[in-house]
């Protein structure tokens, strides 16, 4: 991926071919700058994980992952940085379970599937789910919506 990083380009290619570690570092700094964020060492190390992952990590998971390679980073720095990334449009805060907030690096319109067996959250492309009449809910103005499905992986087909 080139140094001229667009958010869409990262997400169109990330699942097909992971960028190298060196390009992630460069791309993370460029992406932060493109969104008006001064790229400090702490912000870059957080961005390397949270902006280029297929997961939907909680703030505590981000903290644990980042501390593995940057042990002196504080909880406040991680939480403040995640909030800054949300404010600047790099992440979306998701409330997919009661009392649980996760961060989604995919900011385009899409839905979610939560695997009840593993707890893993999968992205579901917008066009795979149809919702009708969402705009016509009496007494409300709908500005955003998503579908959150829950279930388990199917077992092998029985013969």
**What is the count of structural domains for the chain?**
2
Characterize 114-123 residue by residue with b for buried, 16 or more Cβ atoms within 10 angstroms of its Cβ, and e for exposed.
Answer: beeeeeebeb
Pair 58, 136 in one domain:
no
Query: Residue 158: inside a domain, yes or no?
Result: no
Pair 120, 90 in one domain:
no
Domain span holding position 135: 109-151
| d(C-alpha 122, C-alpha 149), whole Å | 10
Query: Residue 74: inside a domain, yes or no?
Result: yes
Confidence of residue 4 (pLDDT cuts 50, 70, 90): very low
Q: Which CATH number do you get for residue 81?
A: 1.10.10.10
Pair 68, 85 in one domain:
yes
Instruction: Specify whether the CB–CB gap between 131 and 110 falls below 8 A.
Output: no
pLDDT tens, position by position, 94-145: 988 778 899 999 999 899 999 999 988 999 999 898 888 777 788 888 888 8
Pair 113, 146 in one domain:
yes
Query: Residue 1: inside a domain, yes or no?
Result: no
Give the three-state DSSP class for 51.
coil
Give yes or no for residue 155 having a pLDDT over 90: no
pLDDT tens, position by position, 6-26: 333 333 233 333 344 444 546
- From 65, 84, 103, give the residue that closes a domain: 103
Q: What is the pTM of this model?
A: 0.75
| d(C-alpha 56, C-alpha 19), whole Å | 19
Strands of the sheet containing 148-151, edge to edge, are 121-125, 110-115, 148-151
Pair 18, 96 in one domain:
yes
């Amino acid at each position: 991926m080139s140094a001229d990083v667009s958010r869409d380009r990262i997400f169109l290619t990330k699942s097909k071919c992971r960028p190298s570690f060196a390009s992630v570092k460069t791309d993370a700094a460029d992406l932060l700058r493109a969104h008006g964020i001064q790229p400090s060492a702490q912000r870059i190390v957080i961005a390397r994980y949270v902006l280029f992952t297929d997961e939907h990590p909680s703030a505590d998971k981000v903290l644990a992952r980042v501390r593995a390679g940057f042990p002196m980073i504080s909880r406040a720095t991680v939480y403040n940085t995640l909030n800054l990334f949300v404010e600047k449009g790099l992440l979306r805060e998701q409330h997919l379970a009661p009392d649980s907030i996760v961060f989604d690096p995919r900011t385009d319109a899409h839905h979610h599937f939560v695997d009840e067996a593993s707890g893993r959250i999968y992205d579901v492309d917008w066009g795979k789910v149809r919702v009708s009449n969402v705009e016509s809910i009496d007494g409300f103005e709908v500005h955003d919506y998503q579908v959150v499905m829950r279930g388990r992986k199917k077992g092998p087909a029985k013969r």
